[in-house]
Structure 1
Amino acid sequence: MTSSLDPDLLRAATVLSAALGCGLLVGIERERRKGSGPTRALAGLRTFTLTCVMGAAAALSGVTGLVVVGAAFVAALGVVAYARDRSDDPGVTTEVALLLTYLIGVLCTWRLLPAAALAVGLTALLAARERLHGFALHWLRPAEVRDGIVLAALLLVVLPLLPDRQMLGDTVNPQRVGQLLSLLLLVQSGAHLARRLLQARHAVVLSSLASGLASSTATIATLGVSAREPGAAVRVLAGGGLLSCVATQVQMVMVAAAVMPAWLPHVGLSAVVAAGLALAAGLWLVHGATEPGPAEGPLATPRIEGLAGSGSDRMFSLRGALAVAALLAGVQVLVHLLQRWLGDAGLLAGVVLGSLADLHAALAAVFTGGPPDPVAERAVVLALLVHAASKTVTAAVSGGWAYVRWLAPGLWLHTLAGVAVLLV
């Protein structure tokens, strides 16, 4: 005769074992901070473990009232413990964690994986107390907190309320414009935080990449101005400018994803090839230079006036991002009107004008027009070439011949390689 375990018994053993493990995980962390004597905290290893198992057992019973009574009992314990707390720094972290641990035990009866993930996340949050306090009180600046609140409000409140329909002759979609604005603010915020993290490391390569996320053209211009200074490491500065071009390719993919995902298979490979060549050429210029690059100054953290994060605590410039979003929408309308007036020639003319103002505005206008077709692909190629020419002129004007002779070959190499892949 063969015997098999009762499925209900096997399930109960699995749930209780999972709850035991979750309780032990959180309890070990709390035991290390519990302290001793009259000022010790409410709960430690055993209390957290038993609380989690109690939640699982109450849920396994199938009696909803028992689960509620258990939660009320744990909450009452927390209230009593807080009222009797005589420590110099009373808090409710342990009390709240104890109630959450009880709920994790209840969750174990429904979904083991989310329960385990929640237990790990809770333990990590509790263990990172000092670092989180230091981040909130000392590292994070007041202006960054305000900007973070504004960004969260835009992403979670404003963006979902924008209408998702075409307006102004099917050229502008408020939802897409809001997505582009959010994208711009996120890029600026990331660039600002990257500069702060990298400033102490004086990392030429990573600093240039971070600045390129804000504006590659502005980074090239800023480094070009520095290249005119006596004793400047021109080759290193040119390498930094070329590395900032990697962000141009990244942003092209991001704009395609936000505006018309159907373009991603067409521009994705081109962007990867172009970004890879720009990265390789930039690294060669930076690390192959014989003259030493300065650890301080504009090379380590290029200052780009007018952009968030340059010498200020602001993570982004909302006014600047709104202006860029308006430019994106305006170029889309311009390209649409020229295309209706002149046909395909109008599309190409509009792209050329848009690329002189902002590459991603021109690309957004092309992507908004619909899925890829031969004329639109030629428009993208034209936009990339015009933008490369604009960067070359900017480098020549800002940095002179010594700067542009190092920058231009890599700039045109990665641009033409990306264009070739796009055409193929």
Structure 2
Amino acid sequence: MSLSVPASPAPAAEPVLRPASLVGRTRAGLSDALAEIGVSEKERRMRVGQLWNWIYHYGVRDFSAMTTISKVLRAALAERFTLDLPEVTAEQVSSDGTRKWLLRMPPVGARDRGAEIECVYIPEVDRGTLCVSSQVGCTLSCTFCHTGTQRLVRNLTTEEIVAQLMVARDRLGDFPGRTPPEGAFVPNDGGRFVSNIVFMGMGEPLYNFDGVRDAIDVISDNEGLSLGRRRITVSTSGVVPQIEALGAEMGTMLAISLHAVRDDLRNELVPLNKKYPIRDLLEACRNYPGLSNAKRITFEYVMLKGVNDSDAEARELVRLLKGIPAKINLIPFNPWPGTRYECSDWDRIERFSEIVYRAGYASPVRTPRGRDILAACGQLKSETEKLSARARLMLEQSEAEAAALAS
């Protein structure tokens, strides 16, 4: 009997670095690109404005469509750069209309083999919310979060963050005068395009401060993508030293992943609490620039059965937040394979919400969206790691079986 033994995996090929895309670049980044192809400093300001309008307002994918730019300059741009978006390697659609895209980013350097991230589009009657990622993986290891089980690979670049919105608008047919790509989902009720962005995907945004700040500058620019900063929410697990800078430099809405009212429990659920305990975190919130009743902080609180959902904890939450203009989002726990937590019973969630509401705080219970495609809060995890882990396991099993048969 012949035995076929799996060959050792071949060394991974060096990544092929494609021409850089201009999509996602800041105005300074576009100016640098023009300088690379010899455009004079005097001319660059005008050309940056033209590129900005074509890329971010019209969403063009071919330099030849930029009819206000000379053919000579268009040809020079096309020779050195592209207008490519990240590849959509998978699109999952939930029964509730939520869409999750797995995006493959091109390599950003000789040692980078590209990365895969997930972003999620949530359509509602009065808005369309895009949940974007800021890192590949995460370093925080929050025990209730699926993304926290994935190791941190790297920060996303500004261009990669902006590109998530560009992909969403492309897939939704949300650029004027452009035919949506084949298979795109085009809302037909006039109110479900991307109107809001939340940095609640993979990663801790404040550990990628510069990349997130510059991406928000691009996203909120009135001459391009034009999403107001009041429609952008940055969520943090509590990187206290960066919270004031977030308000001062980004001016967005702030969300805090709180999830517990005692340091001992929060140390377990959100290990970052060991470095920045609840008292320090809430003090930073009280000092958040621009904080007012019109610009309240959202406190996110995942409801874990028998862990953090008692009446006493609801009352302590109210006491802790006294004096902070706030809204409290109660999030039914979204299970994922291997988790040890369960979602609180519905009547327990309602009782918790009632205590908070009677104390004067808005306490909406977030409707779980996209649970059936692991697109709900706390469920994102890039397919890159899942597939590579599965491949390693299959290889190890094959080698073990071959060794057993050969002995």
TM-score above 0.5 = no
- Structure holding more strand per residue: 2
**Structure ID, larger Rg:** 1
- Structure holding more helix per residue: 1
* TM-score bracket for the superposition, by shorter chain length: under 0.3
